[in-house]
Amino acid sequence: MKCVKFQKELAGLDSPPWPGELGQRIYENVSKDAWKLWEERMKMILNEYRLMPWQKEAQDLVAKHMEDFFFGEGAALPPGYVPQQTK
């Protein structure tokens, strides 16, 4: 599957990671590697805004950021981007 984030063929997710149409779009266009990147970003967003993941407002905000992250302006990583190695 061609990942929208990395712009290359990568392994896809096993199932939609989010409910509804956005989850389906992510499932069809986002690789496991890109989803891992997003999970780190999501933790940062939740912490920064002091959100509780079970609250509707938090879910709406996260969904908006998620859509931007994968499909918004500048969503694709710059050519030659190398993810930071985790120890």
Instruction: Specify the residue for token string 């990568």.
Output: 10
pLDDT given for residue 83 in this prediction: 59
CB 53 within 8 A of CB 64: no
C-alpha closest to that of 17 among 63, 76, 65? 63
pTM (2 d.p.): 0.81
pLDDT given for residue 79 in this prediction: 65
pLDDT given for residue 60 in this prediction: 94
Domains of the chain: 2-71 (1.10.3880.10)
> Residue 27 and residue 15: Cα distance in Å, rounded?
6
Distances (CA, A) of 3 to 45, 49, 52, 55: 23, 28, 29, 30
What tens-digit pLDDT sequence spans the chain (87 residues)? 999 999 999 999 999 999 999 999 999 999 999 999 999 999 999 999 999 989 999 999 999 999 999 999 877 766 666 655 554
Instruction: Specify the residue for token string 């061609």.
Output: 2
